[in-house]
Amino acid sequence: ALISLRQLLDHAAEHSYGLPAFNINNMEQILSIMKAANEVDSPVILQASAGARGYAGESFLRKMVEAAIEQYPHIPICMHQDHGASPKVCQMAIRSGFSSVMMDGSLREDGKTPASYDYNVEVTRRVVEFAHAVGVSVEGELGVLGSLETGMAGEEDGVGAAGKLHESQLLTDPDEAAAFVEATKVDALAIAIGTSHGAYKFTRPPSDDTLSIDRIREIHAKIPNTHLVMHGSSSVPQSLLEQIRQYGGNIKETYGVPVSQIVEGIKSGVRKVNIDTDIRLAMTAAIRAYLVEHPEEFDPRKYFKEAITAAQQLCKERFEAFGSAGQA
Ligand code: G3H
Ligand code: 13P
Ligand code: ZN
């Protein structure tokens, strides 16, 4: 059944678990996530970016999620707009049937230039007004995502600030978070604590202080009823990178966010954990391996099946690690 983000995350908070929010663009990704959720009995957040709409088209996205709801009636599903760049985008998503939208006013409409606090409050407040009127949840974002190690936002994915960032921008300020929530009434808040989008998060293996878990605790203490969201939460498993390289891919050395640190984040108040890159890597590794090992095959179902199995395994591991397994 379709359910709002607020309902899902209220349950997660009450039972102290976190929910992965996986990005979807095509049927195979949706199938991977739903099969995994069905296997371990987890609620699901399916999120679609503007890029997803550009790829699949609004109708296909909507109908594919409807199909997931129909095929798995016992699993609560939230259909979430990821990184809405303007109130207009969020309005369109709501009209298209999304039960939750993110208004990312931390960046200007170009999705690159850091925006002022006042701009962020103004656009987010407007979205909350029309979204709440129809029972749709809203996620806002305060602070600019970027690595504390490099000062850089994630690259190559079209989401993230351009240029080197100051440490003050890279960690969400707890008092400002409290004021922002008070002014906008968002249900969930994406915070900057040292993660960034895409595969190239860290140049060295992460240590215990790669993320600012303390900052999560400080923010959670100020806004206990607003659900905290961690973007850029792919773990970039080294085994997948090795498999991609072994079968002809070319991905340079890079590291993601260890699952153990995400679990620490969940213990400190994070409820929604955004993951896109890891599914991309799992599918690519599986398809590369299959095509190299079966050069005579040309039926797309054969290699997509491998991709689904690999992504399903990854999703299952995240549902289990974050504690959402058994909560559907
Ligand atoms: O936060 C960004 C997500 O990974 C979506 O990426 O804009 O390429 O669909 P995308
Ligand atoms: P990753 O690139 O780490 O998967 O993050 C995805 C994300 O935050 C989507 O909003
Ligand atoms: Zn994101």
Q: How far is CA 315 from CA 29, 77, 156, 185, in A?
A: 10, 15, 23, 31
- Indicate whether 156 pLDDT > 70: no
- Indicate whether 285 pLDDT > 50: yes
The predicted pLDDT at position 162 comes to: 63
> With 0-12 CB in 10 A as exposed, 13-18 as middle and 19+ as buried, what is 155?
middle
> With 0-12 CB in 10 A as exposed, 13-18 as middle and 19+ as buried, what is 38?
middle
Query: What percent of the chain lies above the pLDDT cut of 70?
Result: 97
Identify the residues whose C-beta falls under 6 Å from ligand 2.
23, 82-83, 197-198, 231-234, 274-278
Task: For 5-322, give the CATH class.
Answer: alpha beta
The predicted pLDDT at position 154 comes to: 66
Mean pLDDT of 229-257: 98
Residues with CB under 5 Å of ion ligand 3 are 231, 274
Which residue lies with its CA nearest to atom 7 of ligand 1? Answer: 51
Mean pLDDT of 69-77: 98
Q: How confident is the model at residue 305 (pLDDT cuts 50, 70, 90)?
A: very high
Mean pLDDT of 9-18: 98
Question: Domain residue spans in the chain?
Answer: 5-322
Q: What is the pLDDT of residues 192-205, one digit of tens each?
A: 999 999 999 999 99
Higher pLDDT, residue 112 or 240? 240
The predicted pLDDT at position 166 comes to: 74
Ligand 2 test: best mutation among 103, 193, 275, 283, most atoms within 8 Å of CB? 275
Question: Is the ipTM reported for this complex over the cut 0.95?
Answer: yes
Q: Name the pTM for this structure.
A: 0.96
The binding site for dihydroxyacetone phosphate comprises: 198, 232-234, 274-277
238: tokens are: 């080294």
The whole-angstrom separation of Cα 191 and Cα 182 is: 16
Which residue lies with its CA nearest to atom 6 of ligand 1? Answer: 157
Q: How confident is the model at residue 157 (pLDDT cuts 50, 70, 90)?
A: very low
One-letter amino acid for residue 68 of the chain: A
The predicted pLDDT at position 112 comes to: 87
The predicted pLDDT at position 151 comes to: 76
Between β-strands 227-230 and 19-23, what pairing exists: parallel, antiparallel or unpaired? unpaired
Higher pLDDT, residue 162 or 11? 11
